[in-house]
Amino acid sequence: MKTTLREFIKNYESGKYDDPGVLTMVDAGWYDWFSDDEELKGKLDALFPKVKEIAQSPKIDNEKVYVYFKENCTINGELYDDFKICDIETGDVIYTIIPVSFCKKSRGNAVVWAFDKYLPPHKSSKEMTFETWHALKDYFGLT
């Protein structure tokens, strides 16, 4: 069973994910990556404050979602991280959040992909680009 977002935050803050070993990082929610395994703990530590901020959003029910992490590689080889907020019952991704994008059209910006299962397949997601993390937080009702 997946760990709720509330439980993930509690686990992180209690030190459950302090061991940088790959099994601990997978338990923390790392799903896919290109970097060396030893880099995952530092990436988790960098993403955690952002996850914790988003968890305070009125758009997020911390008992009904979970989080997982992915490192992405652009065509030109630049790596960037995202985290996904997913429905704990269905596993459906609700939000993909990229704190800093390295994709060509959104380079340096924060990006949110919002997914809505009720839209037609050709309109199943909406990409929103924000110039700053602060602006992204505003979308989530946090500023």
Distance of CA 135 to the CA centre of its chain: 16
Per the rule left: phi > 0, alpha: psi between -120 and 50, beta: everything else, 8 is alpha
pLDDT score recorded for residue 100? 82
Query: Using 50, 70 and 90 to split pLDDT, how confident is the model at 42?
Result: very high
DSSP per position, 74-135? -TTS-EEEEEEEEETTT--EEEEEESS--SGGGTTSEEEEEE-TTS-GGGSEEEEEESSHHH
Evaluate whether 101 touches 108 at the Cβ level (below 8 Å): yes
How many structural domains is the chain composed of?
Answer: 1
**How large is the average pLDDT for residues 66-81?**
86
How sure is the predictor about 120, in pLDDT bands with cuts at 50, 70 and 90? low
More confident residue, 15 or 122: 15
What angle in degrees, to the nearest 10, is found between the helix axes of 5-14 and 40-55?
130
Name the pLDDT band for 1 (thresholds 50, 70, 90): low
Domain residues for the domain of 89 are 5-139
pLDDT above 60 (res 12): yes
**Is the whole model's pTM more than 0.85, yes or no?**
yes
| Average pLDDT of the residues in 35-63 | 96
